[in-house]
Amino acid sequence: MIAICPGSFDPVTHGHLDIITRAAALFESVVVAVGRNSAKNYLFSTEERLELVRATTAHLPTVSVEALDGLLVEFARRHGAGVLVKGIRFASDVDFELQMAHINAVVGPVETVMLPASPVWSTLSSTMVREVASYGGDVSAFVPDVVARRIRQKTQGMEQANG
């Protein structure tokens, strides 16, 4: 079965990569769907987020990465995927994901599999990574090197632009 790993990936973290790697071990192939949540302000553009997810999953032969534009269930249908894989950290993730799983099961229909985040990444979020990075903090423990470098370039560029 083909699986979809959806998210904003702004930026992709070790927590995301852990879930993608584990999904690739469970399913025939995985399509990472790099989407846009209208409620969020992004640090990286869709093109940059795609490029960073592609660079950090290049070693996984059954994983591909595509932009998500529109409904996730339509994306799943286009890719012949029967399951969405979601990483779960806290109870609040479960509450939110249950609601989406139920609606996607009807609108799709598509199944949802929730994988518990590995303990080491179980409280990590891109939001926190962006917050620390925006003050010039070191986020290299939480993201691959290529992502840490791009964050540094981006935040230095923003500091210069803001004078």
Question: Minimal CB distance to ligand PNS: which residue?
Answer: 35
Give me the catalytic one of 16, 22, 49, 86.
16
Is 89 catalytic? The answer is yes
Q: Which of residues 61-80 bind ligand PNS (CB under 6 A)?
A: 68, 71-72
Q: Total binding residues for ligand PNS by CB under 6 A? A: 12
What does each C-alpha distance from 33 to 30, 42, 48, 74, 136 come to in angstroms? 9, 16, 14, 12, 29
Instruction: Specify the DSSP class assigned to residue 108.
Output: S
Applying CB under 6 A, does 87 fall inside the site for ligand PNS?
no
Applying CB under 6 A, does 140 fall inside the site for ligand PNS?
no
Give me the catalytic one of 89, 118, 122, 152.
89
CA triple 112-13-50, angle to 5 deg: 80
Applying CB under 6 A, does 108 fall inside the site for ligand PNS?
no
Applying CB under 6 A, does 35 fall inside the site for ligand PNS?
yes
Cα 43 vs. chain centroid, distance in angstroms? 14
Task: Give residues with Cβ within 8 angstroms of 86, minimum separation 6.
Answer: 6, 19, 93, 97, 100, 101, 112, 113, 114, 115
Of 37 and 156, nearer to ligand PNS (C-beta) is: 37
Among 3, 4, 5, 8, binds ligand PNS (CB under 6 A): 8
Is 40 catalytic? The answer is yes
Cis amide prior to 61 (ω within 30 degrees): no
Instruction: Work out the angle between the directed axes of helices 46-57 and 14-26 (0-180°, nearest 10).
Output: 60
Q: Which residues are catalytic?
A: 16, 40, 89, 126
> What does the binding site for ligand PNS look like in residue numbers (CB under 6 A)?
6-8, 35-37, 40, 68, 71-72, 100, 103
